[in-house]
Chain A
């Protein structure tokens, strides 16, 4: 580990905190009825959209109606994508490479993937999709994160409102997030990425003859725009199969750093937005610090194990000048930046990668795995990470909050059986899905046949795939032939279950809280803004995650790491 490598973790956090803080002010004004400098341009657009769609943005919705509208938007996007992928050979426009029909299971998986903000790439982008398909994927990369913000608004209004039956108007939230936040930021992002060297065109792939006399196809297209929203929206559905490691998507270190900042900006802003919405910015602090603590621990552990390298080498008395584990890494970025990037990609639910996670050391690989297993709550994707953390806060308060001698309350709202039921449901579903589907995959021939590496590493690969699906992350560990019908279907199911069944109960919880009266704060109130709560919240995330996944992790990364110390490897 180098001091530069450690320092950049903190520099990144400092930069994204500043960016997120200012962005949160803008988002609060845009979404909760303030004024922004963009109003002059965007208000007419907004009115136009309302008029065309026949929307009355002032109608307040109950949570059921809100969720119904939200699901409709997602289903429509899903259906359109499925049709486009199925009819690729027929729809000849924007298909200069004449891409054929996408197989059904891959199509289904991809369509779910891009609806749920997972953007798991079951397909090879430049070898499977037409430009038209890629464009709709880009549209989906807008719709799914915006959906996440709507979920967040719905949940947080449960705390900010009282004695209320409604949680806002979905259409208004959706359109304002799209117009004020997603589109302008994506445009800025795309322009910067073009400036940093990514191509943006609609040309056919270029065929060149290399100096060695080989023929090489250079894929290109609207790369910058797609990369911009892929990183901004914490999607990760890249233009290229190699994702950000492809030189056009990640031309240089500056571009990679910019993409990191882009990815963190909205998730960090969501934390402060929460504080502003509940009219108590101090309440955002423990959540911010818990996320920062978990992020830093993960980044340092990952970096440490990658820097130390493979223990099996030492066990076999092989001593290298630089012991760094460079396998599967882009040499342009090295161990430090790669470790930071891979930790980031699984905290902000990005899924974008610049290395092959399969080649990380066992414990190094455990970090991204655990980040996803805890529910992608360390910053997380747009809105969703924040809601997940709120659910953890509710659970932490319910577990320990009774210890102050009052019915647990959060932000002046009593946490009673309905809230507990919903929070538990949103926690049970994802862990259950990861464990059950992984167990089936290692038990059934259909699942086992897709595992390249036997032993603990294979188990890690399977766990990673389902954790990535449920966490709506989309990054792949690799080493698993996930395009088989079994994995396409089960990972698709995992993505679906990890999105709606996880977050809709929390919207219901928010609605139930909105109906309640606010309890005035007093010296007897459990303080949820101080360091004590930060410790409690961080502890809850770690302990709950560890308790649920420890047996599986013991048989996966831990077994592999300890075996490597003894010089034993599990080759494929």
Chain B
């Protein structure tokens, strides 16, 4: 499967500023409501450069043992360089000084990577924070409406918000209906409807009412609003380590410890072997061996994963949930709106005995001409497509449309003495005052059984036949489900339909399983039972009835349009309220893990080449025969060591784009992914540094940076 079609541009999309907001002097702030940020945004780079210097503070580095060791090493190397300077050994000073410089750069590059990732997250948070303007609220009190600052509102207060006003806090609509602009949060400019009661009653502070007036009961106190939490989470998410990240950090710390011992013991071994090895060379060996590449990029990978979700307008309430998304192996999808279009489309005309199919189609089309519902329009279109029946121009004649009503449950047209009606089977039968013939009756039953809706069409009290209205499967969804299956992820369809209907649709869509006649309890029990089998469950929900199941799922994505209960139960919120987003979330989760694994493998196997550069250089004086290990034919011991250290430093910035963007993920079998990634990052990690170090060595030799004497 291809990279999921992003609903937003792939580049970072920062939510829009409110019209009167501070413009934060960023270049590229276009005419639209969104500002996109390229990977190397000038401001961001400048900010990150400053941050990377600030992060040199050893206290800031203690969370990263690998880089901490590099920094301590840099200090020693610097001291060593100055010692040579003081004793006027210029050749050694030049070499040691250059090593020290590259060691410092290694730390700076790692800091820069982290700062870049953090900066992108911070930019999101800043943009959100600016939307939190000091609004005034019209609070409803027994004395009438009182104007108070929004910050003074308490849980339980009721406020009145009219068109053009900003909703002062998170709450629930208790009276009225209004269209609301939620772009401040979602970046989506199309207004949404919010009304009291039902599943669309939640409103968010900072959003603007566009029409009508609503009464909102405040449900979150100061600093606890959705917006507040979102800002805190984006900022805190930056520092939270996920379980997997902790485990990897442990492994890296273990490797660092081992290599520390390796290098420390090299000193007595060299003394025993009468080989003279300076402290700086030992430090260079240590830094080359410890996994600096992954150590420097690890936190950037995690943070940028969160950012990628934000770019897709998904807010994860914890990094743990994002990581869990990669592990999800069952995803539960609502039938309506997720798998199917949610609107029924005419798919077939089935005439009654003795009736011409074309005649039925024509009658059905006529009866639907004034029907502006998607179903009605689809009948007109189908008749045109199948039989080329053009809708007649009815302006001149004596035409009277009969609109649909809840009582009659049918609609139609009276035209030149022809009375045509379409509607539910029993309504039409009642209108026509005839028994439905057995063949049509069985047609109707068959259609219902297949999960579709049958409509009967009658003309002048004669039943012409049935129209099948089918819930149409979303385009591309079948392929997407198939690729999920290939990646080992089971899909489960949730529907309120009966099991027979559900089965028919499940087979058509291509899901692995379905849950029919779903009730809140059944959904929750289903989630619990498959989790007990060891599966990790991902689920999307919006209604209050989804909340119990969401609370039990491993990755629970709540729609932003959903109820408060659903949002509370979820561990991610989709600001776009797009139910297929779950699939993208799973892919982002996997991408984070793949990127980590790929760079870890790359980093560790890199050491092989570095050994072949440094070890002969260190010992060739004591044992000239070891020149045989200098398989890259590096010019001199000094150029070899310097080249290895330069490579070690430069590989970090070279991989920053990969860390921030993530390794590409295609939903396919684990074997295929592994084979590809092992080839690129495993074998590549073995070969690339040989070439890289050789090239750097040629440059170092050409520039005479250090002694090239053999």
Contacts and interface: CB of A to CB of B under 8 A. Distances in A.
Interface of A: 395, 398-407, 412, 415-417, 419-421, 424-425, 427-428, 431-432, 435-436, 438-440, 442-443, 448, 455-456, 458-459, 517-520, 522-527, 530, 532, 536, 539, 543, 546-552, 554-555, 558-559, 561-563, 565-566, 568
B261 A415 contact: no
Best-buried of A398, A424, A524 by chain B (most CB within 10 Å): A524
Interface string B260-281: 0111111111111101000000
25 contacts: A398-B247, A402-B600, A403-B677, A404-B670, A405-B590, A406-B327, A407-B326, A417-B243, A421-B254, A428-B254, A435-B261, A439-B267, A439-B268, A442-B272, A443-B268, A459-B269, A522-B490, A524-B329, A532-B671, A543-B604, A547-B611, A551-B611, A554-B629, A559-B273, A562-B623
Nearest to A431: B258
- Chief secondary structure at chain B's binding surface: helix
Interface in B624-669: 624-629, 665, 669
Q: Pick the 5 closest A-B CB pairs, nearest first.
A: A524-B488, A562-B625, A402-B597, A405-B590, A522-B488
B268 A523 contact: no
Contacts of B626: 554, 558-559, 562
Contact of B615 (A403, A439, A440, A551): A551
A536 B677 CA distance: 12
B672 to A, nearest CB: 9
B425 interface: no
B670 A524 contact: yes
Interface string B478-490: 0000000111111
Contacts of A448: 272
Contacts of B490: 522
Given A520-B533, A526-B670, A435 B262 contact: yes
Given A402-B593, A407-B327, A527 B670 contact: yes
A523 B598 contact: no
A400 B251 CA distance: 12
A523 B535 CA distance: 14
Contacts of B670: 404-406, 523-527
A550 B262 CA distance: 9
Nearest to A463: B269
Contacts of B682: 400, 539
A568 B626 CA distance: 13
Contact of A555 (B285, B623, B674): B623
A459 B272 contact: yes
Contact of A519 (B534, B591, B618, B678): B534
A546 B629 CA distance: 14
B594 interface: yes
A434 to B, nearest CB: 9
Given A400-B674, A442-B271, A562-B628, 20 more contacts: A398-B247, A405-B594, A417-B250, A436-B261, A442-B269, A443-B268, A517-B534, A519-B534, A523-B486, A527-B671, A532-B674, A532-B678, A552-B265, A554-B629, A555-B270, A555-B622, A559-B625, A561-B625, A565-B628, A566-B625
Contacts of A419: 247
B289 to A, nearest CB: 7
Contact of B534 (A417, A420, A427, A520): A520
A555 B273 contact: yes
Nearest to A561: B625
Contacts of A432: 258, 261
A547 B257 CA distance: 13
A405 B329 contact: no
A555 B619 contact: yes
B694 interface: no
Contacts of B329: 519-520, 522, 524
B10 interface: no
B628 A421 contact: no
The DSSP consensus for interface residues of chain A is: helix
Interface of B: 243-244, 246-248, 250-251, 254-255, 257-259, 261-273, 275, 285, 289, 323, 326-327, 329, 485-490, 533-536, 589-591, 593-594, 596-598, 600-601, 604-605, 607-608, 611, 615-616, 618-619, 622-629, 665, 669-671, 673-675, 677-678, 681-682
A420 B677 CA distance: 22
A520 B535 contact: yes
Contact of A524 (B255, B628, B669): B669
Nearest to A415: B247
Contact of A563 (B488, B596, B625): B625
A356 B692 CA distance: 44
Contact of B273 (A427, A456, A530): A456
A561 B628 CA distance: 11
Contacts of A455: 273
Max chain A CB contacts within 10 Å: which of B261, B263, B670? B670
B584 to A, nearest CB: 14
Nearest to A520: B534
A307 B93 CA distance: 49
Contacts of A428: 254, 257-258
Contacts of A547: 259, 262, 289, 604, 607-608, 611
Most buried by B among A448, A526, A550: A550
Contact of A420 (B250, B593, B624): B250
Contacts of B675: 532
Given A407-B323, A527-B670, A559 B487 contact: no
A132 to B, nearest CB: 42
Nearest to B669: A523
A555 B269 contact: yes
A202 B453 CA distance: 97
A28 to B, nearest CB: 25
Nearest to B266: A551
Contacts of B263: 551
A554 B273 CA distance: 11
Contacts of A407: 243-244, 323, 326-327, 593
Interface centre among B247, B329, B678 (most CB of A within 10 A): B247
B210 to A, nearest CB: 42
A565 B596 CA distance: 44
A399 B269 contact: no
A252 B218 CA distance: 93
A550 B251 CA distance: 20
Nearest to B264: A439
A245 B598 CA distance: 49
Contacts of A543: 604-605, 608
Contacts of B622: 555, 559
Nearest to A420: B247
B597 A435 contact: no
Contacts of B534: 412, 517-520
B595 to A, nearest CB: 8
B528 to A, nearest CB: 13
Contacts of A405: 326, 589-591, 593-594, 665, 670, 673
Contacts of A416: 243-244, 247
B272 A399 contact: no
Chain A CB within 10 Å — which of B243, B268, B489 has the most? B268
Contacts of A431: 258, 261-262
A350 to B, nearest CB: 27
Given A555-B619, A558-B626, A565-B625, A403 B273 contact: no
Contacts of B327: 406-407
Contacts of A412: 534
A547 B597 CA distance: 19
B299 to A, nearest CB: 16
A554 B615 contact: yes
| Most B-side CB within 10 Å, residue of A425, A427, A439, A459 | A439
Nearest to A519: B534
B671 A406 contact: no
Nearest to B624: A566
Contacts of A546: 608, 611
A399 B250 contact: no
A560 to B, nearest CB: 9
